[in-house]
Each structure stands twice: as C-alpha cells, then as structure tokens.
Amino acid sequence: MTYDYDLFVIGAGSGGVRAARIAAQSGAKVAVAEEFRTGGTCVIRGCVPKKFMVYASEYKTHFKEAEGFGFSFPKQPTYDHTRFIASLAAEVDRLSGIYRRNLNNAGVDVIDDRAVFEDAHTLRLVNSDKTVTAEKILIAVGGEPFIPSDTIEGCEHAITSNEIFDIEDLPRSITIGGGGYIAVEFAHIFAGLGVETSLVYRGDLILRGFDDDIREAVRSGLLESGVRVITHANYTKINETPEGPCKFHVELDNGHAINADVVMLALGRIPYTANLGCDKVGIKLDKRGAVVVDEWSKTNVDSVWAVGDVTDRVALTPVAIREGHCFADTEFGGKPHHFDHDKIASAIFTQPPVGTVGMSEHDARAKYGDVDIYKARFKPMKSALSGDPNRVLMKLIVRQSDQVVLGCHIVGPDAPEIIQAVGIAVKMNATKQDFDNTCALHPSLAEELVTMRDKWVPPEL
C-alpha cells in the first residue's frame, strides 16, 4: 500500500515540529497540519510570551532597587502596556515564522488546517475537506485550558492563558483562579505591573505537589508582592457589572465576593483530543482524554504515536521536544532511543523564581523513609543595598543509605539558571559528598549548594 506521506504530524507545536523536522531530515516524506499558528502553546501563548511579561513586570522593582545603588529617577518611569503588547506580538510573529521556515527548509509540507482521524492511516483536513494518507501518524496537538463551566456560572466572562496576551489595556484589577504554575506566575506578573491582583485557590497552600518549603516561600513572595491570596475558596459565579466599580463581580463559595476588571481561570490544562476522531480508530485515551502511550510514545494502534502535552506525561516544552526527537530518530533515523522522564528540572517564573529538580522532601520520605535534609535560608548579598525583602531558599534532599542527592529546590534570584546546571549533577546521581567536594564560587548565591554542612533537624524532633 502506498501513502501520501511517510509521516503525518497533527499539530505544529514544540513536539510536532521537532519530530517532523528530524523525520524529514532523515529522508521521510512528511507533512504537518496546524489549525492555529506554527509554534504551538509555548511560542504563541505560553512560555515565550509569558517570560517576556515576567521581564516587563520586573522593571518596576528594578527601578526601585536601583535607588539603593545610587540611581535616582527625576521623572517617575511610566509603563505603556499597549506598546509592550505590540512588541510582544511582533516577537511572537517572528518566532512563529522561524518555526515555519525551519519546517519548510527541512522539506516538510505545512498544511494550515485541522486534521482529524478517518482511519488508522487516513486523516481528513476539515476546512479543505480533503483526505490524506500516511504510513505513520503522530498526534502532537497539545492541551487546552480546563474550564469548569458546570461549576462556575458565567464562565464565558473569564479568560485563560490563551487570551491573556491579547489584553491591550492594562486592567486596574485582576482575579486569578487556581494555585498552579500559571496562576502564581501571572499573579506576580500583574502585581508587578501595578495591577490590583487576587489569587483564589481551593486548597490550603498553592503549588500542590512541589516541595513544601517551596510552596511556603512562593506564598510569602506573593504576599510580599502585594497579591491577595485567598485560600479554601472557589469561584461560583461571574457577573458582569458594567455599572459597577469593576467590570466583574465574582462570587466565591466561602460567602465572599471579589470585584475585578479581568477574571482569569488557571485551573489546569487538559489534553486537546476532543473531536480528534480517536474513537474512530480505537486509540486508547485515559479518563482525562490523554492519549495513552508506551515509553516509545506509541499508542495501542500500530500506525499512531503521540508526544507532548496530549499524552499528559510531563507537560513541559523541552519534554515534548525530546519525545518528538526520540520518536523521529527511532522510526525514521535508525537510532532507536526513548526519553527518560525522571529528574527533569523545571522552573516557576515567580518573583523570585523557583528552580526545582528531583523529589520533594515529602515524596522522598514516603519512598525511602530515611532522608537527610540540608536547608539554607538567607538574604542575598544584593539585597543589602537593593532592599529586596525576599530570602533565598536552597534545599537538598539526600537519601541516607547512599547519600545520593534525590532533589534540589531553590527559590531566589536566578534559580532557573542555577537549577539547569544542578540538574546535570542530580541526573548523574551525584552524592552529597560530590557536592561537598565541589569548590564554592564566591560571591554567588549558588555557592550555598556546596557549603551546606549541617543536616536540618525538624523542630519537633
């Protein structure tokens, strides 16, 4: 049987683009279909524009801190959100164009359409109403924001991270629902830009799943930045109030209410498999709608693979890229290998940011019982003059039996940059002795990682 393509990729995001390019460079005939814009969530409405917003929101603090170093600003600096958003959009356009050019240069056919399954080798292009066939199909459609329209009345008034980058006029106030990555990052962004910001979280402490010390440190950072953190609460109803002081009046299930100009939901993301036709082909999905795959990213259907957020493994751009690369190398490059999802470093771009790799103290204790904890909390040198009130947190989780460092958690300036390098050591199963044998670099924040000598003893022991 001959097919139109050796590989058809659904979705031109991080994972899909990498897989398409590597497969094409290995000699395969490849097409990729994208219904929105080349680049996917990360480039168009995720990591990249978010990081630019983080940069923008930090300047106010930088200006304030500069005064401690002798600077003065005879005229108060002003911020023009509309101008910033226009620059941001231009940069996103440029990057999206690069992704597209890279695909074209690799010989990949880029199809601007939505592709859905007809059978295990056939896809229908929805807008052009054509069909294409491929020997192998890769699902790389990513995720979409979860919107609980059954529990929050008036959900249609809320925006998500999909729309947040399009707001041209800076609101006076925003309320953000959720306590995960997106909620805490945007709470800092808007607070930093001078917007009255509240965060509404259903639990006790934000960032569930992270090390408890990180969670506490981020909570303090949010409060320090002026974010109103409301816990044990959920939105129940969003009312439009055109005559009111703010555009919306949001009712909470704790009996209180919040007024805000923008209501944002950051309640998690779900795999974007609705109406993809997986049922027609018998592709197995889990209860969240994620495509179930094995370590080779292969589904239960012989001709279909899936990578990235749609598989709900680890929803991070570099992970999707690695999964896509492994798939293409294995299936088209004659170099079979698969990605190891253990000990992936990640960051939360709060202010100060978080860098983390490996196990939390809680998980390490649950799995190994005896662990040694090394912790340092200190004021960074710069803060002596800048006046930054935040303390740095550095924490190592060490398995007692063999002294392997199971986890490293940092909250402080440059934590994401530091953790990328520490991640190499942790991935290599470095021991506490290896850390100790490494000479400090002075003066730096990171030197604390190799100078922590005393085990932390819980106060109750």
CA distance 109 to 85: 31
Closest residue to ligand NDP, judged by C-beta, is 180
**Binding pattern to ligand NDP, positions 229-268, x when CB under 6 A?**
-----x-------------------------------xxx
Closest distance of CB 317 from ligand NDP, Å: 8
Q: Which helix (H) or strand (E) holds 102?
A: helix 81-105
Q: Is 315 in the site for ligand NDP (CB under 6 A)?
A: yes
How many binding residues for ligand NDP (CB under 6 A)? 23
Given the complex with ligand NDP, which of 208 and 288 has the nearer CB atom? 208
Q: Of 256, 325, 409, 442, which one is the catalytic site residue?
A: 442
Give the alpha-carbon dihedral of 201, 417, 60, 91, to 10 degrees.
-90
10 Å CB burial of residue 290 (0-12, 13-18, 19+) is buried
Candidates 14, 346, 351, 356; binder of ligand NDP (CB under 6 A) is: 346
CB 432 within 8 A of CB 372: yes
Q: Annotate each residue in 110-139 with x if it binds ligand NDP (CB under 6 A) or - if it does not, as one string.
A: ------------------------------
Which residues in the 280-309 window bind ligand NDP by CB under 6 A? none
Query: CB of 411: closest distance to ligand NDP in angstroms?
Result: 13
Nearer to ligand NDP, 299 or 346 (CB): 346
Q: Are 389 and 382 in contact (CB under 8 A)?
A: no
> Which range in 63-71, 196-204, 287-295, 399-407 contacts ligand NDP by CB under 6 A?
196-204
> Residue 24 or residue 344: which is nearer to ligand NDP going by CB?
344
Distance CA 65, CA 434 (A): 36
Structure tokens at 408: 């490293």
CA distances to 52, 67, 85, 227 from 412, in Å: 19, 21, 27, 18
Axis crossing angle, helix 212-224 with helix 181-192, rounded to the nearest 10: 20
Measured from the CB atom, the residue of 48 and 85 that comes closer to ligand NDP is 48
Rounded CA gap, 26 and 256, in Å?
Answer: 59
Query: Which of residues 43, 347, 397, 408 is near ligand NDP by CB under 6 A?
Result: 347
Q: Does 44 bind ligand NDP (CB under 6 A)?
A: no
- Known catalytic residue at 442: yes
Q: Can you tell me the distance from the alpha carbon of 221 to that of 375, in angstroms, rounded to the nearest whole number? A: 18
Please give the positions annotated as active site: 442
Contact residues for ligand NDP (CB under 6 A)? 148, 178-183, 185, 201-203, 208, 234, 266-269, 315-316, 346-349
